[in-house]
Structure 1
Protein backbone atom coordinates (compact mmCIF):
# COMPACT_ATOMS: atom_id res chain seq x y z
CA UNK A 1 0.00 0.00 0.00
CA UNK A 2 1.17 3.62 -0.43
CA UNK A 3 2.46 5.80 2.37
CA UNK A 4 -0.40 6.68 4.72
CA UNK A 5 -1.99 9.93 3.45
CA UNK A 6 -1.70 11.67 6.83
CA UNK A 7 2.02 10.90 6.92
CA UNK A 8 2.45 11.97 3.31
CA UNK A 9 0.68 15.28 4.02
CA UNK A 10 2.92 15.95 6.99
CA UNK A 11 6.12 15.15 5.10
CA UNK A 12 5.08 17.52 2.32
CA UNK A 13 5.07 20.40 4.82
CA UNK A 14 8.63 19.84 6.01
CA UNK A 15 11.31 22.27 4.81
CA UNK A 16 14.49 21.02 3.20
CA UNK A 17 17.12 20.07 5.81
CA UNK A 18 19.66 22.80 6.50
CA UNK A 19 23.01 22.54 4.79
CA UNK A 20 26.18 21.96 6.74
CA UNK A 21 26.94 19.77 9.75
CA UNK A 22 24.20 18.79 12.19
CA UNK A 23 23.98 20.83 15.39
CA UNK A 24 22.87 18.48 18.20
CA UNK A 25 22.12 21.29 20.64
CA UNK A 26 19.87 23.14 18.20
CA UNK A 27 18.17 19.92 17.10
CA UNK A 28 17.43 18.93 20.69
CA UNK A 29 15.97 22.36 21.37
CA UNK A 30 13.78 22.02 18.29
CA UNK A 31 12.46 18.66 19.47
CA UNK A 32 11.75 19.93 22.96
CA UNK A 33 9.83 22.89 21.53
CA UNK A 34 7.22 20.49 20.13
CA UNK A 35 6.49 18.74 23.42
CA UNK A 36 2.83 19.04 24.45
CA UNK A 37 2.00 21.04 27.59
CA UNK A 38 1.44 18.92 30.68
CA UNK A 39 -2.28 19.70 30.74
CA UNK A 40 -2.68 18.12 27.28
CA UNK A 41 -0.95 14.84 28.08
CA UNK A 42 -2.66 11.50 28.66
CA UNK A 43 -3.56 11.34 32.37
CA UNK A 44 -2.38 8.40 34.47
CA UNK A 45 -2.69 7.48 38.13
CA UNK A 46 0.81 8.77 38.87
CA UNK A 47 3.81 10.12 36.93
CA UNK A 48 6.94 10.72 38.96
CA UNK A 49 10.46 11.90 38.10
CA UNK A 50 13.06 9.99 40.07
CA UNK A 51 16.78 9.27 40.13
CA UNK A 52 17.97 5.71 39.74
CA UNK A 53 21.13 5.21 41.78
CA UNK A 54 22.94 2.57 39.73
CA UNK A 55 26.33 1.06 39.02
CA UNK A 56 26.44 3.41 36.01
CA UNK A 57 25.87 6.45 38.22
CA UNK A 58 22.73 8.48 38.90
CA UNK A 59 20.33 8.15 35.97
CA UNK A 60 17.15 10.25 35.66
CA UNK A 61 14.03 8.15 35.12
CA UNK A 62 10.34 8.89 34.85
CA UNK A 63 7.99 6.33 36.39
CA UNK A 64 4.47 5.98 34.98
CA UNK A 65 2.01 4.10 37.20
CA UNK A 66 -1.22 3.42 35.28
CA UNK A 67 -3.62 2.57 38.11
CA UNK A 68 -3.82 2.62 41.88
CA UNK A 69 -3.30 -1.14 42.14
CA UNK A 70 -0.65 -2.13 44.66
CA UNK A 71 1.57 -3.87 42.11
CA UNK A 72 2.09 -4.06 38.37
CA UNK A 73 4.44 -5.61 35.88
CA UNK A 74 7.18 -3.26 34.67
CA UNK A 75 8.38 -2.08 31.26
CA UNK A 76 11.74 -0.29 31.14
CA UNK A 77 11.61 1.99 28.10
CA UNK A 78 14.52 3.44 26.09
CA UNK A 79 13.62 6.37 23.82
CA UNK A 80 14.91 6.76 20.29
CA UNK A 81 16.80 9.62 18.65
CA UNK A 82 19.91 8.26 16.88
CA UNK A 83 21.74 8.14 20.23
CA UNK A 84 22.03 11.96 20.38
CA UNK A 85 18.42 13.15 20.41
CA UNK A 86 15.36 12.38 22.50
CA UNK A 87 14.59 12.77 26.18
CA UNK A 88 12.11 11.93 28.89
CA UNK A 89 10.03 14.83 27.56
CA UNK A 90 10.09 14.17 23.81
CA UNK A 91 8.93 10.58 24.34
CA UNK A 92 6.67 11.20 27.32
CA UNK A 93 3.57 10.53 25.21
CA UNK A 94 4.95 7.17 24.09
CA UNK A 95 5.62 6.09 27.67
CA UNK A 96 2.17 7.25 28.77
CA UNK A 97 0.47 5.27 26.02
CA UNK A 98 2.52 2.20 26.86
CA UNK A 99 1.47 2.42 30.49
CA UNK A 100 -2.18 3.13 29.69
CA UNK A 101 -2.65 0.37 27.12
CA UNK A 102 -0.61 -2.36 28.80
CA UNK A 103 -1.62 -1.61 32.39
CA UNK A 104 2.03 -1.93 33.40
CA UNK A 105 4.32 0.50 35.17
CA UNK A 106 6.71 2.12 32.69
CA UNK A 107 10.17 3.31 33.71
CA UNK A 108 11.47 5.68 31.01
CA UNK A 109 15.26 6.11 31.05
CA UNK A 110 16.94 9.49 30.59
CA UNK A 111 20.23 7.95 29.49
CA UNK A 112 23.30 9.98 28.57
CA UNK A 113 23.56 11.09 24.94
CA UNK A 114 26.36 11.21 22.39
CA UNK A 115 28.55 13.02 21.56
CA UNK A 116 28.92 14.53 25.04
CA UNK A 117 28.82 11.07 26.62
CA UNK A 118 31.04 8.62 24.76
CA UNK A 119 30.06 5.04 24.04
CA UNK A 120 29.08 2.96 26.00
CA UNK A 121 27.69 5.53 28.46
CA UNK A 122 24.09 5.48 27.20
CA UNK A 123 24.05 1.70 26.90
CA UNK A 124 25.51 1.34 30.38
CA UNK A 125 22.77 3.61 31.78
CA UNK A 126 20.02 1.56 30.16
CA UNK A 127 21.46 -1.74 31.35
CA UNK A 128 21.96 -0.39 34.86
CA UNK A 129 18.40 0.92 35.13
CA UNK A 130 17.00 -2.50 34.21
CA UNK A 131 19.04 -3.97 37.05
CA UNK A 132 17.90 -1.15 39.33
CA UNK A 133 14.26 -1.78 38.45
CA UNK A 134 14.59 -5.40 39.49
CA UNK A 135 16.45 -4.51 42.68
CA UNK A 136 13.99 -1.73 43.59
CA UNK A 137 10.97 -3.77 42.59
CA UNK A 138 9.12 -3.39 45.86
CA UNK A 139 9.62 0.39 45.84
CA UNK A 140 8.40 0.58 42.24
CA UNK A 141 5.38 -1.57 42.96
CA UNK A 142 6.69 -4.36 40.75
CA UNK A 143 4.67 -7.53 41.10
CA UNK A 144 7.74 -9.70 40.45
CA UNK A 145 6.42 -11.11 37.16
CA UNK A 146 6.79 -9.15 33.92
CA UNK A 147 10.03 -7.20 33.47
CA UNK A 148 10.03 -6.12 29.84
CA UNK A 149 12.42 -3.83 27.99
CA UNK A 150 11.12 -1.71 25.12
CA UNK A 151 12.57 0.91 22.82
CA UNK A 152 12.09 2.68 19.50
CA UNK A 153 14.74 3.17 16.82
CA UNK A 154 18.09 3.62 18.61
CA UNK A 155 16.22 2.71 21.79
CA UNK A 156 15.46 -0.59 20.09
CA UNK A 157 19.19 -0.98 19.51
CA UNK A 158 19.71 -0.60 23.25
CA UNK A 159 16.98 -3.17 23.92
CA UNK A 160 18.78 -5.82 21.86
CA UNK A 161 22.17 -4.92 23.36
CA UNK A 162 20.82 -4.90 26.93
CA UNK A 163 19.09 -8.29 26.72
CA UNK A 164 22.24 -9.82 25.21
CA UNK A 165 24.42 -8.35 27.95
CA UNK A 166 22.00 -9.45 30.65
CA UNK A 167 22.01 -12.98 29.25
CA UNK A 168 25.81 -13.09 29.17
CA UNK A 169 25.94 -11.90 32.78
CA UNK A 170 23.41 -14.50 33.94
CA UNK A 171 20.73 -11.91 34.75
CA UNK A 172 17.54 -13.77 33.88
CA UNK A 173 14.81 -11.45 35.13
CA UNK A 174 13.99 -9.86 31.75
CA UNK A 175 10.86 -11.54 30.40
CA UNK A 176 10.20 -9.71 27.10
CA UNK A 177 12.00 -7.53 24.56
CA UNK A 178 9.98 -5.09 22.46
CA UNK A 179 11.62 -3.25 19.58
CA UNK A 180 9.87 -0.61 17.50
CA UNK A 181 11.57 -0.14 14.09
CA UNK A 182 14.97 -0.82 15.67
CA UNK A 183 18.35 0.32 14.38
CA UNK A 184 20.34 -2.90 14.71
CA UNK A 185 23.08 -2.67 12.10
CA UNK A 186 25.13 0.52 12.09
CA UNK A 187 27.01 -0.53 8.96
CA UNK A 188 25.01 1.54 6.48
CA UNK A 189 26.30 -0.07 3.29
CA UNK A 190 23.26 0.29 1.01
CA UNK A 191 23.75 -3.23 -0.31
CA UNK A 192 23.55 -4.80 3.14
CA UNK A 193 19.72 -4.74 3.39
CA UNK A 194 17.28 -4.27 0.46
CA UNK A 195 15.14 -1.75 2.37
CA UNK A 196 18.09 0.65 2.47
CA UNK A 197 17.65 1.03 -1.29
CA UNK A 198 13.90 0.43 -1.59
CA UNK A 199 13.10 3.12 0.99
CA UNK A 200 16.10 5.34 0.41
CA UNK A 201 14.23 8.62 -0.10
CA UNK A 202 10.83 10.22 0.22
CA UNK A 203 9.58 8.61 3.41
CA UNK A 204 10.93 10.88 6.15
CA UNK A 205 14.09 9.16 7.37
CA UNK A 206 16.35 8.72 4.36
CA UNK A 207 19.21 6.30 3.85
CA UNK A 208 21.60 9.14 3.05
CA UNK A 209 20.86 10.62 6.47
CA UNK A 210 21.74 7.53 8.48
CA UNK A 211 25.50 8.08 8.53
CA UNK A 212 25.41 11.75 9.57
CA UNK A 213 22.70 11.13 12.16
CA UNK A 214 24.62 8.28 13.74
CA UNK A 215 28.01 9.94 13.39
CA UNK A 216 27.81 11.42 16.89
CA UNK A 217 27.51 7.93 18.37
CA UNK A 218 30.04 6.28 16.10
CA UNK A 219 32.44 9.17 16.55
CA UNK A 220 32.29 8.70 20.32
CA UNK A 221 33.89 5.27 20.04
CA UNK A 222 31.02 3.01 18.99
CA UNK A 223 32.39 0.51 16.45
CA UNK A 224 29.74 -0.77 13.98
CA UNK A 225 31.48 -4.17 14.00
CA UNK A 226 30.89 -4.50 17.77
CA UNK A 227 27.72 -6.52 18.59
CA UNK A 228 27.04 -4.08 21.41
CA UNK A 229 26.69 -1.41 18.73
CA UNK A 230 25.21 -3.52 15.92
CA UNK A 231 23.31 -6.30 17.74
CA UNK A 232 22.66 -8.10 14.44
CA UNK A 233 26.35 -9.00 14.46
CA UNK A 234 25.97 -11.12 17.60
CA UNK A 235 26.68 -14.70 16.61
CA UNK A 236 24.44 -16.52 19.11
CA UNK A 237 20.95 -15.22 19.86
CA UNK A 238 19.81 -18.30 21.77
CA UNK A 239 18.53 -17.92 25.31
CA UNK A 240 17.27 -14.36 24.86
CA UNK A 241 13.80 -13.23 26.02
CA UNK A 242 10.80 -13.59 23.74
CA UNK A 243 10.55 -10.70 21.31
CA UNK A 244 8.09 -8.43 19.55
CA UNK A 245 9.74 -6.64 16.62
CA UNK A 246 7.65 -3.89 15.01
CA UNK A 247 8.75 -2.62 11.61
CA UNK A 248 7.45 -0.04 9.14
CA UNK A 249 6.86 -0.72 5.46
CA UNK A 250 8.68 2.40 4.22
CA UNK A 251 11.56 2.42 6.71
CA UNK A 252 15.14 2.10 5.36
CA UNK A 253 15.89 0.02 8.49
CA UNK A 254 12.89 -2.29 8.03
CA UNK A 255 14.88 -5.33 6.94
CA UNK A 256 17.38 -5.34 9.79
CA UNK A 257 14.54 -5.48 12.31
CA UNK A 258 12.86 -8.30 10.42
CA UNK A 259 16.15 -10.16 10.10
CA UNK A 260 16.62 -9.91 13.87
CA UNK A 261 13.23 -11.54 14.37
CA UNK A 262 14.10 -14.27 11.88
CA UNK A 263 17.45 -14.97 13.52
CA UNK A 264 15.84 -15.11 16.96
CA UNK A 265 13.40 -17.74 15.74
CA UNK A 266 16.23 -19.71 14.15
CA UNK A 267 17.97 -19.62 17.55
CA UNK A 268 14.89 -21.06 19.26
CA UNK A 269 13.60 -17.78 20.70
CA UNK A 270 9.89 -16.98 20.44
CA UNK A 271 9.71 -13.91 18.20
CA UNK A 272 6.83 -12.04 16.58
CA UNK A 273 7.52 -9.64 13.71
CA UNK A 274 4.77 -7.16 12.86
CA UNK A 275 5.18 -4.92 9.82
CA UNK A 276 2.92 -1.84 9.79
CA UNK A 277 1.83 -1.08 6.25
CA UNK A 278 1.85 2.49 4.99
CA UNK A 279 4.13 3.60 7.82
CA UNK A 280 7.62 5.07 7.84
CA UNK A 281 10.31 5.17 10.49
CA UNK A 282 9.27 6.90 13.69
CA UNK A 283 5.54 6.27 13.40
CA UNK A 284 5.14 5.26 17.06
CA UNK A 285 6.60 8.56 18.20
CA UNK A 286 5.11 10.83 15.56
CA UNK A 287 1.93 9.20 14.24
CA UNK A 288 0.49 7.02 16.98
CA UNK A 289 -2.50 9.39 17.03
CA UNK A 290 -3.59 7.64 13.80
CA UNK A 291 -5.83 4.78 15.01
CA UNK A 292 -4.23 2.02 12.95
CA UNK A 293 -0.82 2.95 14.33
CA UNK A 294 -1.97 3.53 17.90
CA UNK A 295 -2.88 -0.17 17.74
CA UNK A 296 0.80 -0.92 18.30
CA UNK A 297 0.27 -0.36 22.01
CA UNK A 298 -2.60 -2.88 22.11
CA UNK A 299 -0.38 -5.32 20.21
CA UNK A 300 2.32 -4.77 22.80
CA UNK A 301 -0.20 -5.43 25.58
CA UNK A 302 -1.34 -8.66 23.94
CA UNK A 303 2.22 -9.79 23.31
CA UNK A 304 3.17 -9.33 26.97
CA UNK A 305 -0.05 -11.05 28.04
CA UNK A 306 0.76 -14.02 25.81
CA UNK A 307 -2.16 -13.38 23.44
CA UNK A 308 -0.12 -12.59 20.33
Structure 2
Protein backbone atom coordinates (compact mmCIF):
# COMPACT_ATOMS: atom_id res chain seq x y z
CA UNK A 1 0.00 0.00 0.00
CA UNK A 2 1.34 3.43 -0.94
CA UNK A 3 2.29 5.70 1.96
CA UNK A 4 2.58 8.91 -0.05
CA UNK A 5 0.49 8.70 -3.23
CA UNK A 6 -2.19 10.84 -1.59
CA UNK A 7 0.42 13.61 -1.24
CA UNK A 8 1.36 13.64 -4.93
CA UNK A 9 0.22 16.63 -6.97
CA UNK A 10 -2.67 15.20 -9.06
CA UNK A 11 -1.18 16.58 -12.27
CA UNK A 12 1.96 14.51 -11.68
CA UNK A 13 0.23 11.15 -11.22
CA UNK A 14 0.20 10.28 -14.96
CA UNK A 15 4.01 10.12 -14.96
CA UNK A 16 3.94 7.33 -12.39
CA UNK A 17 1.72 5.26 -14.68
CA UNK A 18 3.56 6.22 -17.88
CA UNK A 19 7.01 5.28 -16.58
CA UNK A 20 6.76 2.24 -14.31
CA UNK A 21 9.57 1.95 -11.81
CA UNK A 22 12.43 -0.42 -12.67
CA UNK A 23 14.49 -1.31 -9.61
CA UNK A 24 18.17 -0.57 -10.13
CA UNK A 25 20.41 -3.65 -10.09
CA UNK A 26 23.18 -5.30 -12.03
CA UNK A 27 20.53 -7.31 -13.89
CA UNK A 28 18.43 -4.27 -14.88
CA UNK A 29 21.23 -1.78 -15.59
CA UNK A 30 21.31 -2.45 -19.34
CA UNK A 31 17.52 -2.00 -19.51
CA UNK A 32 17.71 1.27 -17.58
CA UNK A 33 20.45 2.56 -19.86
CA UNK A 34 18.39 1.81 -22.96
CA UNK A 35 15.20 3.39 -21.64
CA UNK A 36 14.27 6.66 -23.31
CA UNK A 37 12.08 9.04 -21.33
CA UNK A 38 9.41 11.13 -23.05
CA UNK A 39 10.92 14.46 -24.09
CA UNK A 40 9.36 17.61 -25.52
CA UNK A 41 9.84 18.48 -29.16
CA UNK A 42 13.28 19.88 -29.90
CA UNK A 43 13.48 23.50 -31.00
CA UNK A 44 15.78 23.59 -34.03
CA UNK A 45 15.73 27.19 -35.24
CA UNK A 46 18.01 29.91 -33.93
CA UNK A 47 20.45 27.66 -32.09
CA UNK A 48 23.65 26.08 -33.37
CA UNK A 49 24.75 22.64 -32.19
CA UNK A 50 28.31 21.36 -32.45
CA UNK A 51 29.55 17.97 -31.26
CA UNK A 52 33.20 17.79 -30.25
CA UNK A 53 35.73 15.43 -28.75
CA UNK A 54 38.14 17.00 -26.29
CA UNK A 55 41.14 15.78 -24.33
CA UNK A 56 40.15 13.74 -21.31
CA UNK A 57 41.86 13.58 -17.93
CA UNK A 58 45.52 12.51 -17.91
CA UNK A 59 45.77 8.84 -18.83
CA UNK A 60 42.09 8.57 -19.77
CA UNK A 61 40.16 8.53 -23.04
CA UNK A 62 38.93 11.64 -24.80
CA UNK A 63 35.60 13.10 -23.70
CA UNK A 64 32.61 13.84 -25.94
CA UNK A 65 30.83 17.15 -25.44
CA UNK A 66 27.92 18.85 -27.22
CA UNK A 67 27.85 22.62 -27.50
CA UNK A 68 24.81 24.84 -28.07
CA UNK A 69 24.64 28.57 -28.67
CA UNK A 70 22.68 31.32 -30.43
CA UNK A 71 22.98 30.77 -34.18
CA UNK A 72 25.70 32.80 -35.88
CA UNK A 73 26.78 34.51 -32.64
CA UNK A 74 30.55 34.46 -32.07
CA UNK A 75 30.50 36.84 -29.08
CA UNK A 76 31.87 35.83 -25.70
CA UNK A 77 28.71 34.69 -23.91
CA UNK A 78 27.97 33.31 -20.45
CA UNK A 79 28.34 29.54 -20.53
CA UNK A 80 26.71 26.70 -18.61
CA UNK A 81 28.49 23.38 -18.20
CA UNK A 82 25.59 20.95 -17.98
CA UNK A 83 25.99 17.50 -16.39
CA UNK A 84 23.24 14.95 -17.05
CA UNK A 85 21.61 12.73 -14.46
CA UNK A 86 21.18 8.98 -14.28
CA UNK A 87 22.31 7.86 -10.85
CA UNK A 88 25.98 7.94 -11.93
CA UNK A 89 25.31 4.70 -13.82
CA UNK A 90 23.11 5.77 -16.75
CA UNK A 91 22.05 8.75 -18.82
CA UNK A 92 23.54 10.64 -21.75
CA UNK A 93 24.10 14.23 -22.76
CA UNK A 94 21.66 13.97 -25.68
CA UNK A 95 18.71 13.67 -23.31
CA UNK A 96 19.03 17.34 -22.44
CA UNK A 97 18.94 18.67 -26.00
CA UNK A 98 15.39 20.11 -25.94
CA UNK A 99 16.11 22.13 -22.81
CA UNK A 100 19.62 23.06 -23.93
CA UNK A 101 18.30 24.52 -27.16
CA UNK A 102 15.53 26.37 -25.34
CA UNK A 103 17.84 27.89 -22.74
CA UNK A 104 20.57 28.80 -25.23
CA UNK A 105 18.00 30.53 -27.43
CA UNK A 106 15.99 32.33 -24.77
CA UNK A 107 18.82 33.26 -22.40
CA UNK A 108 21.43 34.07 -25.04
CA UNK A 109 24.05 31.78 -23.54
CA UNK A 110 26.21 28.82 -24.49
CA UNK A 111 25.69 25.36 -23.06
CA UNK A 112 28.31 22.64 -23.02
CA UNK A 113 26.94 19.19 -22.17
CA UNK A 114 29.41 16.45 -21.25
CA UNK A 115 29.17 12.67 -21.75
CA UNK A 116 31.15 11.50 -18.75
CA UNK A 117 32.12 7.89 -18.07
CA UNK A 118 29.58 5.88 -16.09
CA UNK A 119 29.87 3.61 -13.07
CA UNK A 120 30.33 0.79 -12.27
CA UNK A 121 32.68 0.42 -15.26
CA UNK A 122 34.34 3.68 -14.21
CA UNK A 123 34.10 4.36 -10.47
CA UNK A 124 34.94 7.62 -8.72
CA UNK A 125 36.73 9.86 -9.65
CA UNK A 126 36.37 9.12 -13.39
CA UNK A 127 33.12 11.01 -14.00
CA UNK A 128 34.25 14.02 -11.96
CA UNK A 129 37.54 14.27 -13.85
CA UNK A 130 35.73 14.01 -17.20
CA UNK A 131 33.51 16.92 -16.17
CA UNK A 132 36.54 18.89 -15.06
CA UNK A 133 38.14 18.22 -18.45
CA UNK A 134 35.11 19.88 -20.05
CA UNK A 135 35.55 22.83 -17.70
CA UNK A 136 39.24 22.97 -18.67
CA UNK A 137 38.20 23.12 -22.33
CA UNK A 138 35.77 25.99 -21.74
CA UNK A 139 38.38 28.08 -19.94
CA UNK A 140 41.10 27.22 -22.46
CA UNK A 141 38.78 28.23 -25.31
CA UNK A 142 38.11 31.57 -23.64
CA UNK A 143 36.65 34.57 -25.41
CA UNK A 144 38.01 33.37 -28.76
CA UNK A 145 35.83 30.28 -28.33
CA UNK A 146 32.78 32.35 -27.42
CA UNK A 147 32.93 32.05 -23.63
CA UNK A 148 32.78 34.93 -21.16
CA UNK A 149 35.09 33.57 -18.47
CA UNK A 150 33.57 35.81 -15.81
CA UNK A 151 30.20 34.09 -16.24
CA UNK A 152 30.85 30.34 -16.30
CA UNK A 153 28.62 28.13 -14.17
CA UNK A 154 27.71 24.47 -13.70
CA UNK A 155 24.25 22.91 -13.76
CA UNK A 156 22.92 19.42 -13.23
CA UNK A 157 19.97 17.29 -12.20
CA UNK A 158 19.98 14.31 -9.86
CA UNK A 159 23.40 12.62 -10.18
CA UNK A 160 24.32 15.44 -12.56
CA UNK A 161 23.52 17.84 -9.73
CA UNK A 162 25.73 15.81 -7.44
CA UNK A 163 28.55 16.01 -9.97
CA UNK A 164 27.98 19.75 -10.42
CA UNK A 165 28.27 20.29 -6.66
CA UNK A 166 31.32 18.02 -6.51
CA UNK A 167 32.91 19.89 -9.41
CA UNK A 168 32.41 23.20 -7.61
CA UNK A 169 34.08 21.77 -4.51
CA UNK A 170 36.90 20.28 -6.57
CA UNK A 171 37.51 23.57 -8.42
CA UNK A 172 37.56 25.41 -5.08
CA UNK A 173 39.86 22.93 -3.35
CA UNK A 174 42.27 22.50 -6.27
CA UNK A 175 42.12 26.21 -7.18
CA UNK A 176 41.49 25.47 -10.85
CA UNK A 177 38.71 27.62 -12.32
CA UNK A 178 36.47 30.35 -10.86
CA UNK A 179 32.78 29.54 -11.20
CA UNK A 180 30.06 32.17 -11.23
CA UNK A 181 27.20 29.95 -10.05
CA UNK A 182 26.04 26.40 -9.28
CA UNK A 183 22.53 25.41 -10.38
CA UNK A 184 21.22 22.15 -8.88
CA UNK A 185 17.94 20.32 -9.43
CA UNK A 186 17.14 17.56 -6.91
CA UNK A 187 20.87 16.80 -6.61
CA UNK A 188 22.21 13.42 -5.46
CA UNK A 189 24.65 14.51 -2.76
CA UNK A 190 24.86 11.99 0.08
CA UNK A 191 25.85 8.31 -0.12
CA UNK A 192 24.39 7.79 3.34
CA UNK A 193 20.81 8.41 2.21
CA UNK A 194 19.05 5.05 2.12
CA UNK A 195 21.87 3.40 4.07
CA UNK A 196 22.65 5.06 7.39
CA UNK A 197 20.30 8.02 7.54
CA UNK A 198 16.87 7.47 9.10
CA UNK A 199 14.41 7.11 6.19
CA UNK A 200 12.01 9.92 5.47
CA UNK A 201 8.46 8.63 6.16
CA UNK A 202 6.91 9.97 2.95
CA UNK A 203 9.78 10.75 0.56
CA UNK A 204 11.47 8.41 -1.90
CA UNK A 205 8.59 6.07 -2.64
CA UNK A 206 8.44 6.90 -6.36
CA UNK A 207 10.87 6.96 -9.31
CA UNK A 208 14.06 6.85 -7.22
CA UNK A 209 14.06 4.75 -4.07
CA UNK A 210 16.47 4.05 -1.24
CA UNK A 211 17.34 0.70 -2.84
CA UNK A 212 18.12 2.42 -6.16
CA UNK A 213 20.28 4.87 -4.25
CA UNK A 214 22.29 2.14 -2.54
CA UNK A 215 22.96 0.40 -5.85
CA UNK A 216 24.11 3.56 -7.58
CA UNK A 217 26.34 4.78 -4.77
CA UNK A 218 27.87 1.31 -4.48
CA UNK A 219 28.58 1.42 -8.21
CA UNK A 220 30.21 4.84 -8.00
CA UNK A 221 32.24 4.18 -4.86
CA UNK A 222 33.23 0.62 -5.67
CA UNK A 223 31.95 -0.57 -2.31
CA UNK A 224 29.13 -0.20 0.18
CA UNK A 225 27.97 3.40 0.69
CA UNK A 226 27.93 5.04 4.08
CA UNK A 227 31.38 4.00 5.21
CA UNK A 228 34.28 6.05 6.48
CA UNK A 229 36.62 7.94 4.22
CA UNK A 230 34.21 8.83 1.40
CA UNK A 231 35.53 11.90 -0.39
CA UNK A 232 33.46 15.08 -0.54
CA UNK A 233 34.41 15.15 -4.22
CA UNK A 234 32.33 11.97 -4.56
CA UNK A 235 29.54 12.81 -2.10
CA UNK A 236 29.37 16.60 -1.65
CA UNK A 237 27.25 16.28 1.50
CA UNK A 238 30.41 14.93 3.15
CA UNK A 239 32.19 18.29 2.79
CA UNK A 240 33.00 19.70 6.22
CA UNK A 241 33.28 23.24 4.84
CA UNK A 242 31.04 24.75 2.15
CA UNK A 243 32.47 28.25 2.35
CA UNK A 244 33.89 29.77 -0.80
CA UNK A 245 31.42 28.07 -3.12
CA UNK A 246 29.76 30.15 -5.84
CA UNK A 247 26.16 31.33 -5.43
CA UNK A 248 23.92 28.27 -5.18
CA UNK A 249 20.49 27.61 -6.65
CA UNK A 250 18.81 24.41 -5.46
CA UNK A 251 15.36 23.09 -6.41
CA UNK A 252 13.83 19.87 -5.15
CA UNK A 253 10.53 18.13 -4.54
CA UNK A 254 8.96 17.57 -1.15
CA UNK A 255 8.50 13.84 -1.93
CA UNK A 256 11.96 13.33 -3.46
CA UNK A 257 14.26 10.84 -1.73
CA UNK A 258 16.87 13.61 -1.65
CA UNK A 259 14.71 16.18 0.17
CA UNK A 260 16.54 15.97 3.51
CA UNK A 261 20.07 15.98 2.07
CA UNK A 262 19.12 18.83 -0.27
CA UNK A 263 17.70 20.96 2.54
CA UNK A 264 20.71 20.26 4.73
CA UNK A 265 23.18 21.15 1.97
CA UNK A 266 21.38 24.45 1.31
CA UNK A 267 21.22 25.23 5.03
CA UNK A 268 24.91 24.53 5.57
CA UNK A 269 25.90 26.51 2.48
CA UNK A 270 23.90 29.51 3.71
CA UNK A 271 25.52 29.27 7.14
CA UNK A 272 28.92 29.23 5.40
CA UNK A 273 28.17 32.54 3.71
CA UNK A 274 27.19 31.19 0.30
CA UNK A 275 24.32 33.07 -1.40
CA UNK A 276 21.56 30.43 -1.60
CA UNK A 277 18.25 30.32 -3.45
CA UNK A 278 16.18 27.31 -2.39
CA UNK A 279 12.90 26.06 -3.88
CA UNK A 280 10.87 23.12 -2.55
CA UNK A 281 7.85 22.04 -4.60
CA UNK A 282 4.94 20.36 -2.79
CA UNK A 283 3.56 17.11 -4.10
CA UNK A 284 6.63 16.59 -6.28
CA UNK A 285 8.72 13.43 -6.55
CA UNK A 286 12.05 12.82 -8.29
CA UNK A 287 11.97 13.79 -11.97
CA UNK A 288 8.62 15.55 -11.69
CA UNK A 289 9.66 18.22 -14.19
CA UNK A 290 9.25 15.66 -16.99
CA UNK A 291 5.48 16.18 -16.81
CA UNK A 292 5.01 18.94 -19.43
CA UNK A 293 1.49 20.04 -18.57
CA UNK A 294 1.67 20.11 -14.78
CA UNK A 295 1.61 23.57 -13.23
CA UNK A 296 4.16 22.64 -10.55
CA UNK A 297 6.55 21.36 -13.23
CA UNK A 298 6.20 24.52 -15.30
CA UNK A 299 6.72 26.62 -12.19
CA UNK A 300 9.95 24.78 -11.46
CA UNK A 301 11.19 25.22 -15.02
CA UNK A 302 10.30 28.93 -14.98
CA UNK A 303 11.97 29.44 -11.60
CA UNK A 304 15.10 27.67 -12.81
CA UNK A 305 15.34 29.66 -16.02
CA UNK A 306 14.84 32.94 -14.15
CA UNK A 307 17.60 32.02 -11.70
CA UNK A 308 19.95 31.23 -14.59
CA UNK A 309 19.16 34.59 -16.20
CA UNK A 310 20.03 36.37 -12.95
CA UNK A 311 23.21 34.34 -12.47
CA UNK A 312 24.42 35.14 -15.99
CA UNK A 313 23.50 38.83 -15.99
CA UNK A 314 26.37 41.17 -16.94
CA UNK A 315 28.61 42.10 -14.05
TM range (shorter): 0.7 to 0.9
Aligned equivalent of 1:119: 124
Change in 2 beyond 3 A, CA 1:190/1:144: closer
Distance in 1 of aligned mates of 2:193 and 2:116 = 24
Distance in 1 of aligned mates of 2:225 and 2:106 = 35
Contact 1:199-1:207 within 8 A present in 2 as well: no
Aligned equivalent of 2:213: 210
Aligned equivalent of 2:64: 60
> Deviation at 1:262?
1.0
The secondary structure found in structure 2 opposite 1:198 is coil
The secondary structure found in structure 2 opposite 1:42 is coil
Contact 1:118-1:221 within 8 A present in 2 as well: no
The secondary structure found in structure 1 opposite 2:274 is coil
> Deviation at 1:289?
5.5
- Give the number of aligned pairs: 300
Contact 1:67-1:103 within 8 A present in 2 as well: no
Change in 2 beyond 3 A, CA 1:11/1:117: same
> Deviation at 1:220?
6.8
Contact 1:114-1:217 within 8 A present in 2 as well: yes
5+ residue gaps, structure 2, are 1-5
Change in 2 beyond 3 A, CA 1:68/1:215: same
Change in 2 beyond 3 A, CA 1:13/1:132: closer
Aligned with 2:282 (options 265, 268, 277): 277
Change in 2 beyond 3 A, CA 1:237/1:157: same
Aligned equivalent of 1:226: 231
Contact 1:127-1:162 within 8 A present in 2 as well: yes
Aligned with 1:293 (options 284, 288, 300): 300
TM-score (normalised: structure 1) = 0.86
Contact 1:35-1:89 within 8 A present in 2 as well: no
Is residue 71 of structure 1 aligned with residue 76 of structure 2? yes
> Deviation at 1:221?
9.0
TM-score (normalised: structure 2) = 0.85
> Deviation at 1:13?
4.0
Aligned equivalent of 2:203: 199
> Deviation at 1:170?
1.7
Distance in 2 of aligned mates of 1:141 and 1:269 = 28
Aligned with 2:183 (options 171, 178, 186): 178
5+ residue gaps, structure 1, are none
Distance in 1 of aligned mates of 2:225 and 2:49 = 33
Change in 2 beyond 3 A, CA 1:231/1:288: farther
Contact 2:89-2:120 within 8 A present in 1 as well: yes
Aligned equivalent of 2:104: 99
Distance in 2 of aligned mates of 1:25 and 1:49 = 25
Contact 2:120-2:222 within 8 A present in 1 as well: yes
RMSD over aligned CA atoms reads 2.7
> Deviation at 1:190?
6.1
Distance in 1 of aligned mates of 2:269 and 2:24 = 40
Aligned equivalent of 2:151: 146
> Deviation at 1:263?
0.7
> Deviation at 1:21?
4.3
Contact 1:120-1:222 within 8 A present in 2 as well: no
The secondary structure found in structure 2 opposite 1:89 is helix
The secondary structure found in structure 2 opposite 1:90 is helix
Distance in 2 of aligned mates of 1:266 and 1:92 = 35
